[in-house]
Amino acid sequence: AQKVTQAQTEISVVEKEDVTLDCVYETRDTTYYLFWYKQPPSGELVFLIRRNSFDEQNEISGRYSWNFQKSTSSFNFTITASQVVDSAVYFCALRHGSSNTGKLIFGQGTTLQVKP
Amino acid sequence: KAGVTQTPRYLIKTRGQQVTLSCSPISGHRSVSWYQQTPGQGLQFLFEYFSETQRNKGNFPGRFSGRQFSNSRSEMNVSTLELGDSALYLCASSLGNTPNTEAFFGQGTRLTVV
């Protein structure tokens, strides 16, 4: 079975703090893809990153960084020096690599509140 | 490049009615997927269309159906609405020719069933 778990339901930090959002996944596929999306109050899911199962390199994009560890089936997301504009719901998602499908399996999401 | 467009943005329907939601994908994208988002169940996959064919289907009753047109635009239909169908319905567009691509989402249609 495929499953994504985001154990943190809500996180509240003060601006400029660093924050890490956890994501643990389950899959039997050897090839799969992991994603992070941000959902601001407007409702649209904004794509942040895609990672292939065979590429364990960490990635940094500005204040955002991602740590992918196959050994622990985790794909964690860190925001450095958080800002109020980072307040949103963040979703981690998993996609099969073994079949040609666009289906995404989402975690329950983590609501991040950044206070000024 | 225009993003994914969903219409309408808001809908209020009465129990028992039916509703049709529309999604225009990004130009050149051939895959359109639909998701239902509720506070209790989170984001759940409804179905995916690729080149006018349903390629994958989630675990929803037959009241939920969809289709895709030759220009890749997609519609989803919910018949005999129930109160529990109240949700944000999101459409995602992608190239679809490989799973190694990102999906881009529209702003959603918020359906309220009263």
| B33·A103 Cβ contact <8 A | yes
Q: What integer is the mean pLDDT of A102-108?
A: 94
pLDDT at residue B1 in the model: 61
Nearest in space to A19 (alpha carbons), one of A30, A10, A32: A10
Q: What integer is the mean pLDDT of A59-81?
A: 94
pLDDT at residue B92 in the model: 96
A12-54 pLDDT, tens digit per residue, is 999 999 999 999 999 998 899 999 999 999 889 999 999 999 8
CA distance B82 to chain A (A): 22
Q: Which residues on B lie below 8 Å from A105 (Cβ)? A: 45
Q: Could you tell me which residue, B30 or A98, shows the higher pLDDT?
A: B30
Q: Could you tell me which residue, A61 or A75, shows the higher pLDDT?
A: A75
- Please give the torsion angle defined by the CA atoms of residues A83, B101, A29 and A19, in that order, rounded to the nearest 10 degrees: 0
Ranges of residues in chain B with a pLDDT under 70 are: 1
Surface-to-core class of residue B26, CB atoms within 10 Å of its CB (0-12 exposed, 13-18 middle, 19+ buried):
middle
pLDDT at residue B63 in the model: 98
Tell me, what DSSP letter sits at residue B25? -
SS3 B83: helix
Residue with tokens 């450095």: A80
Nearest to B45 among A44, A91, A104 (CB): A104
Q: Which residues on B lie below 8 Å from A35 (Cβ)? A: 102-103
Up-side HSE of residue B32: CA atoms within 13 Å toward CB?
31
pLDDT at residue B2 in the model: 77
Q: What integer is the mean pLDDT of A88-109?
A: 90
pLDDT at residue B97 in the model: 79
Q: What integer is the mean pLDDT of A76-87?
A: 96
pLDDT value at A64 more than 90: yes
Q: Measuring CA to CA, how many Å separate B73 from each of A16, B20, B50, B64? A: 42, 13, 10, 17
Q: Is the dihedral of CA A60, B2, A40, B41 positive or negative?
A: negative
Q: Is the dihedral of CA A108, A109, A111, A112 positive or negative?
A: positive
Q: What integer is the mean pLDDT of A89-103?
A: 87
- Chain A's closest residue to B43, CA to CA, is A106
pLDDT at residue A42 in the model: 87
| A104·B31 Cβ contact <8 A | no
Confidence of residue A81 (pLDDT cuts 50, 70, 90): very high
What is the rounded distance in angstroms from the CA atom of residue A9 to the CA atom of residue B60? 25
